[in-house]
Amino acid sequence: MKKSIIAITAAVTLLFSANNIQANTAKSEITAIEAADSQLQNVYDAYFTVKDALIKSDSKLTSAKAKDLLNAITAVKMDKLKSNEHTVWMKVVKKLTADAKNISATTDLKKQRETFKSLSKNTYDLIKVSSPEQPIYKQYCPMADADWLSKEKAVKNPYYGSSMLTCGNVVETIK
Domains of the chain: which residue ranges?
35-133
Would the pLDDT of 23 be above 80? no
Could you tell me the pTM of the whole model?
Answer: 0.80
Q: Domain 35-133, CATH 1.20.120 — does that match?
A: yes
Tens-place pLDDT, residues 85-144: 999 999 999 999 999 999 999 999 999 999 999 999 999 999 999 988 899 999 999 999
Tens-place pLDDT, residues 53-69: 999 999 999 999 999 99
The 3-class secondary structure across the chain, one letter per residue, is: CHHHHHHHHHHHHHHHHHHHHHHHHHHHHHHHHHHHHHHHHHHHHHHHHHHHHHHCCCHHHHHHHHHHHHHHHHHCCHHHCCHHHHHHHHHHHHHHHHHHHHHHCCCCHHHHHHHHHHHHHHHHHHHHHCCCCCCEEEEEECCCCEEEEECCCCCCCCCCHHHHCCCCEEEEEEC
